[in-house]
Every structure is written in structure tokens, then in C-alpha cells.
Amino acid sequence: MDAKKIKILAIASVGGHWVQLLRLRPAFEDSEVVFVSTRPSFATMVEGNKFYSVTDASRWNKFKLVVSFFEIFRIIRKERPGVIVTTGAAPGLLGIFAGKVLGCKTVWVDSIANVEKLSMSGKIAAKVAGRVYTQWEDLAGGKVVYEGNIL
Amino acid sequence: MIFVTTGTQAPFDRLIQMVDEMAPEIEGHEVIAQAFKGTYIAKHIQVLDFLEPKKFKELFDNADLIISHAGMGTVISALTTGKTLIIVPRNAKLGEHRNDHQLATARKLDELNYVHVAFDSGTLVKLTKRLLNEDNSGNPPKVAEFASGRLISSLRKYIHDGA
């Protein structure tokens, strides 16, 4: 048995995504967690953990998407986490892509705000990530699983 | 004090205007708003730009009532602190968001009695006055600090044993 701690990179952009990510923290107990978000001041919310801030991006701004991707890629290459966990949005999806390329286990938790259908990023993540959760039972199916929600 | 927040991603002038116009009607209640800068200039309420997490929390915790867009960050914060919350969903047709998921989210959260929802100014004023006058502020629901045990253990299992 390898007694070494698992390293998790937990990434989400500002707003509801970040708040939902923080609610998953008990799942990270006994692991080393590196947090990534899009506001430097969020470091104060995860004191005791390593924190990186990256450029926020959405699919409406291709240039920022590229910048953000390389920032995230660099962090993952440096930190070498075993697992990437994200609650979205676009930066989280970029984390899934970069993590996949660098050989990490990847988990997408679709935001609880998506009550009628999976988010666009979630649909893409479903093709790439190792595990994809929806927070609404009626949206589960195929690779997308429902196992309760962040409330 | 009533704390109004529109999130940090995009302006939501319609909400700020609705609250600003309501302010003279609810005398004795200070209104402080956090809003991404739009074009509407408020006359009766204080509007602040992005707030550091600590300042945001302070205003949030001291508020008697929260009014916000249908952003999950605010909804979850209200649910964990047991604050009474009225949400006004952004409407994509009015250019307030890229899609109408906030309308769907608001309807669902309303149905589950997690929040109060106002789709228009009349409802917002009526709800605000009612909730400010109720002793129990409408008995806001409260949720625990972390996600459901089921989601936590499933995620944990995947992190440690998943393929």
C-alpha cells in the first residue's frame, strides 16, 4: 500500500461554481488539495491550502480561453495532482482537458443551477472526464451520474 | 439593512433600478447593493463594485433580507446562513444573460421552497414589504455547511478507488 497522500487539484471560477466547490471539501479530507479560481482574494477562503488564481474565461472570449488554458496547464504540470475536481465553468473544463493530457483522473460536477439540462461545458466534459455528476436525478443517464447534490 | 447582490460577472441594471425605486417605500431600512457596474445611476441606495470576500460576508451576515439575481453562490450562502432571500432571475431577452437558465433555476428553487422569487417589480415590492414585517422573515430554510453525504462519499470513493 502506498501511504502517500493523494493530491487533488480543485478548480472553479468565481461565483456559484466556487461556492459549490468549497462544499465538496469533506471529500478531500486526508488528501493534499491545491485550489484554483479566478480571483486572487479567494486565497483567504482556503487558508492552509495552496491557491492559484488564473484568468477567467468563457467560450465567448477565445483569446482568454487560450491564456487561461496555458495558465492552468502550467499549474497542473508543476503540481502533478492525481485527480482534478471541478464544478465549472469554462476554466474548470480547461482543467479537465489539461488534466486529461497530463494523465490525471478527472471529475466534473455540473452546477446545481443546471436544472433542465446539463451545461454546455458539462456536455463536453461528459465526453472527456472520468466521472461526471449532475445534481438533478432526471438529468442522469449514460455516463452522467446522479449521487445527491451540494445542498 | 437590505443587502442586494447581482454577482460579479455582468451588470443587472434592471434589478438595481427596481430596488432603487423601491427604497423610498421602505423607509427605515438601509439598502446596500453590490453590483457589476452598469449604466443606471442609483439615487436612493448605495452601490458598491466587487467586494472582498470578508466585506461581502459581513454585509451578508448583517442583512435582514437579501435580494439577488438567481446566482447559485448567493442562493447557497443564504441557505447555509438561514437568510431570507428574494431572487430576481436574469432574463436573456433583455440582454441580462447569455441564456435563460436563471429563469429555470429560479422556478425550480421556488417550487422546492428554497427561496422567494420575483419576476417583476410589483412582486418584488410586495414580497420585500411582507418579509420585512414578518417576525420570522418567512422561515427561511437552512442547509448544512457541506454537500450531501451521498455526494461526498461517492466523490471520495471515485477519488480513492475510481478507475
CATH code, B73: 3.40.50.2000
In one letter, which amino acid is A13?
A: S
- Domains of chain A in start order, with CATH, are 7-146 (3.40.50.2000)
Across the interface, whether the CB atoms of B158 and A24 are under 8 A apart is answered: no
Residue A106: φ, ψ to 5°: -130, 135
DSSP letters along A50-61, please?
EEEE-----TT-
Report the DSSP pairing between strands B116-117 and B31-34: unpaired
Q: The domain containing residue B60 runs over which residues?
A: 2-161
pTM of structure: 0.92
The number of folded domains in chain B is 1
What's the gap between Cα A32 and its chain centre?
15
Residue with cell 459581513: B58
- Complex ipTM above 0.85? yes
Q: What chain A residue is nearest to B114 in terms of C-alpha separation?
A: A151
Q: What is the pLDDT along chain B (163 residues), one digit of tens a residue?
A: 999 999 878 899 999 999 999 999 998 999 999 998 899 999 999 999 888 888 999 999 999 999 999 999 999 999 999 999 999 999 999 989 888 889 999 999 999 999 999 999 999 999 999 999 987 666 788 899 999 999 999 999 999 998 6
Determine the residue among A133, A147, A149 to mutate to test chain B binding: the one whose Cβ has the most chain B Cβ atoms within 10 Å. Answer: A147
Tens digit of each residue's pLDDT (9 = 90 or more) over A93-119 = 999 999 999 999 999 999 999 999 999
Across the interface, whether the CB atoms of A115 and B108 are under 8 A apart is answered: yes
Across the interface, whether the CB atoms of B156 and A27 are under 8 A apart is answered: yes
